[in-house]
Chain A
Amino acid sequence: MSKAMEATVSKKSLRDNPLVWPLAGLALVVAFNLVTGPEFFSVSVRDGHLYGNLVDIFSQGARVMLLALGMTLVIATGGVDLSVGAVMAIGGALCATLVTQLGYGLYLALPLTLLMAGALGFFNGAMVVAGRIQPIIATLILMVAGRGVALLITDSDVVKIQDPAFLYLGKGYILGVPFSLWLVAAVFTVMALLIRKTALGLLIEAVGDNEHASRFSGIEAGRLKLIVYAVCGALAGMAGVLDAASVSAADPMRVGELKELDAIFAVVIGGTALTGGRFLLFGSILGAILLQALTLTLYNAGVPAAVAPVPKAIVIVGVCLLQSDRFRKQISNIIKIGGKAS
Chain B
Amino acid sequence: MLEMNFRPSRLFSLFTRFAAAPLLLASVFLSGCGGGGDSAEKKVKIGFAQVGAESVWRTANTDSMQSEAKKRGVDLKFSSGEGKQENQIRAIRSFVAQGVDLIILSPIVETGWDPVLKEAKRAGIPVLLMDREIETADESLYAAFIGSDFVEEGRLAAQWMVENVKGEKVNIVELEGTPGSAPAIDRQTGFKEVVDEHSRFTIIESQSANFRRSDGKDLMESLLKLHKKIDVVYAHNDDMALGAIQAIEAAGLKPGKDIVIISIDAIKEAFEAVVAGKINCIVECTPLFGPLAFDMAEKILNGEEYERRVVMKDSVFDQSNAAAAIDSRKY
Contact = CB atoms under 8 A, between A and B. Distances in A.
Nearest to B58: A253
A182 interface: no
Nearest to B211: A254
Contacts of A131: none
A46 interface: yes
Contacts of B269: 158, 160, 249
Given A51-B251, A299-B222, A305 B5 contact: no
B2 to A, nearest CB: 9
Contact of B217 (A103, A104, A158, A247): A247
Interface in A254-286: 254-255, 257
Contacts of A255: 214
A300 B226 contact: yes
Interface in A117-157: 151-152, 155-157
Contacts of A53: 222, 225
B222 A247 contact: no
A251 B58 CA distance: 14
Contacts of A103: 5
Contacts of B223: 299
A53 B7 CA distance: 44
Of B225, B226, B243, most A-chain CB atoms within 10 Å: B225
B246 A47 contact: no
A247 B214 contact: yes
Contacts, number: 87
A145 B211 CA distance: 22
Contact of A251 (B179, B225, B239): B239
B71 interface: no
Interface size class, chain A: 35 or more
B17 interface: yes
B212 interface: yes
Interface in A218-256: 243, 246-249, 251, 253-255
Given A158-B269, A247-B243, A299-B223, A171 B250 contact: yes
Contacts of B250: 171
Interface string B104-125: 0000000000000000000000
B222 A254 contact: no
Given A53-B222, A247-B246, A300-B222, A152 B53 contact: no
Given A102-B5, A249-B242, A254-B239, A151 B53 contact: yes
B246 A248 contact: yes
Contact of B246 (A156, A246, A295, A296): A246
A60 interface: yes
A5 interface: no
A56 interface: yes
B217 A155 contact: no
22 contacts: A37-B226, A39-B225, A47-B252, A51-B251, A56-B225, A103-B5, A104-B5, A155-B10, A157-B56, A246-B217, A246-B246, A247-B213, A247-B242, A249-B213, A249-B269, A251-B239, A253-B53, A254-B213, A257-B212, A295-B218, A299-B223, A305-B176
